[in-house]
């Protein structure tokens, strides 16, 4: 099945990544350009470009009617959403199915079930899979939230039913904090996901965030590609990920148990694409189902590196009902250790977005490095989008080698003209507890690597002068 016209309704590095996979399979990659990104870097890899009028996300990447109009106008056969935007929008997926357009992701019904945190937890409970204690459904009022919070005991997490990416979450230590945060989280959830339903969930102190990559096809096959450790986070958003998990380590029985659990849950809902089943693992290595991301994840490259399998290519093949070429689960093996650092345009100390213009960009990496990015000299990073501008990935034969390679790769990545979190990543990679794999989701709050970021005024002045020279060259 070749020459299918596939519209990529995303931007940045993930749109580039998808376009490459589409081209490799012999299909036609169709990229989108908007009014505020007429020269978007991902278009370089797309065979055709189409214009989606507007400059706000609500006018472009979140505008279902406008996207459907493009699909009809340009005779699009399939759509790949990447992550974010409409990637986990069940009603949009259903609209495409009704149009006869292939959505490169899970079917609408399985997305509806697993994309709703309340429904997915109910399904998990019925399947005998342990879940984090909390409300079975969205809570309707502050009073109900407080009642449940006292039943499961503080601290608790107010959490959006829809969406992900760390948005729509607040930890509360007492009744007053629930009162203060309830409406705040509802507003944030509505703005981010179009739905303000909230769950109350027990907040497990110092947990590990472990997730399992799965892939299912339309023939009933479900495979896992082992686990990833995503515990280095700030504001419930991941900073650095690695595979396999250093906490699970050589405990193959535990690894098999958590991966098999993810497969069982995926099979129950008739899932038929790439996805990630996320778990919270306690200090005693008990694990609880957290949620399922019904899309490809930002951190999928580290899984590709340790398994040698292109997940985006497989995702496209699965959508078209093609054979994935995987004989059975035993055929999927892993080797080595991979680490991914998210490169973001943000202040390395406050960890807040820091928009700006890239005035200089150089890379000099060791062997075994992969850099998925959308960076070029002159790139304007605006507050309109997520501040992540690249994903730096390394692979080593063992974890210590991967850590060493990542340190070298970070030293070899130069992005001038705007603040990035590279200095913060460098501190993390030299933290003793990180080196020993002894960390949890409280790593940032406990170790405080942001406070160890050095401000070298002399070098800053040099970089400022270089940035001015580059700016003049660019006519800025």
* Residues with catalytic function: 295
Strand-by-strand arrangement of the 48-52 sheet = 48-52, 28-34, 5-8, 78-80, 102-103
Burial of 330 (0-12, 13-18, 19+ CB in 10 A): exposed
How far apart CA 266 and CA 276 sit, in angstroms, is 9
φ/ψ bin of 318: left (φ > 0), alpha (ψ from -120 to 50), beta (otherwise): alpha
How far apart CA 196 and CA 184 sit, in angstroms, is 10
Instruction: Quickly list DSSP for 342-366.
Output: EEESB-TTT--B--EE--EEEE---
Burial of 109 (0-12, 13-18, 19+ CB in 10 A): middle
3-state secondary structure (DSSP) of residue 65: helix
> Nearest CA to 159 among 177, 181, 141, 144?
181
CA 366 vs CA 34, 369, 389, 395: distances in Å:
36, 6, 20, 10
* Distance, C-alpha 8 to centroid of its chain: 17
∠ CA 151-156-161, rounded to 5°: 100
CA 461 vs CA 416, 444, 450: distances in Å:
12, 29, 21
Sign of CA dihedral 82, 86, 92, 93: positive
407: Cβ contacts below 8 Å, ≥ 6 apart: 426, 429, 430
How far apart CA 15 and CA 32 sit, in angstroms, is 9
Q: Between β-strands 287-293 and 274-281, what pairing exists: parallel, antiparallel or unpaired?
A: antiparallel
Q: What are phi and psi of 351, to 5 degrees?
A: 60, 30
3-state secondary structure (DSSP) of residue 122: helix
């Amino acid at each position: 099945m070749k020459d299918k016209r596939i519209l990529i309704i995303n931007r940045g590095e993930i749109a580039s990544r998808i376009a490459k996979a589409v081209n490799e399979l012999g299909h036609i990659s169709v990229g989108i350009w908007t009014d505020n990104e007429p020269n978007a870097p991902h278009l370089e890899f797309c065979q055709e470009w189409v214009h989606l009028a507007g400059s706000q996300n609500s006018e472009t990447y979140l505008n279902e009617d406008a996207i459907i109009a493009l699909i009809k106008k340009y005779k699009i056969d399939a759509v790949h959403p990447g992550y974010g935007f409409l990637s986990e929008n069940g009603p949009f997926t259903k609209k495409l199915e009704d149009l006869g357009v292939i959505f490169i992701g899970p079917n609408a019904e399985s997305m509806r079930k697993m994309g709703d945190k309340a429904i997915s937890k109910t399904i998990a409970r019925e399947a005998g899979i342990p879940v984090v204690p909390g409300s079975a459904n969205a809570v309707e009022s502050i009073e109900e939230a407080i009642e449940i919070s006292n039943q499961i005991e503080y601290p608790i997490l107010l959490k959006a039913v829809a969406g992900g990416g760390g948005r729509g979450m607040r930890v509360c230590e007492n009744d007053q904090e629930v009162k203060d945060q309830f409406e705040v989280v509802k507003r944030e959830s509505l703005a981010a996901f179009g739905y303000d339903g909230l769950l109350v969930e027990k907040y497990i102190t110092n947990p590990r965030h472990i997730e399992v990559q799965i892939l299912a096809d339309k023939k009933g096959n479900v495979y896992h590609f082992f686990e990833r450790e995503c515990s280095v986070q700030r504001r419930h958003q991941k900073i650095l990920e690695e595979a396999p998990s250093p906490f699970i380590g050589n405990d193959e029985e535990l690894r098999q148990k958590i991966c098999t659990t993810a497969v069982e849950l995926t099979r129950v809902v008739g899932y038929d694409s790439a996805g990630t089943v996320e778990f919270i693992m306690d200090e005693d290595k008990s694990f609880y189902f957290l949620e399922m991301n019904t899309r490809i994840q930002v951190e999928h490259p580290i899984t590709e590196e340790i398994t040698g399998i292109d997940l985006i290519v497989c995702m496209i093949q699965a959508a078209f009902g093609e054979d994935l070429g995987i004989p059975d689960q035993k055929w999927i093996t892993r080797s080595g250790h991979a680490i991914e650092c998210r490169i973001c345009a943000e202040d390395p100390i406050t960890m807040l977005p820091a928009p700006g213009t890239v005035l200089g960009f150089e890379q000099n990496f060791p062997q075994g490095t992969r850099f998925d990015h959308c960076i070029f000299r002159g790139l304007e990073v605006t507050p309109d989008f997520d501040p992540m501008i690249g994903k730096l990935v390394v692979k080593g034969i063992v974890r210590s080698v991967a850590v060493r390679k990542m340190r070298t790769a970070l030293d070899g990545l130069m992005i001038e003209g705007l603040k990035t979190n590279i200095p913060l990543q460098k501190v993390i990679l030299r933290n003793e507890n990180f080196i020993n794999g002894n960390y949890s989701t409280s790593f940032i709050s406990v170790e405080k690597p942001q406070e160890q970021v050095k401000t070298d005024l002399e070098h800053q002045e040099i970089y400022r002068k270089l940035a001015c020279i580059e700016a003049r060259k660019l006519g800025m």
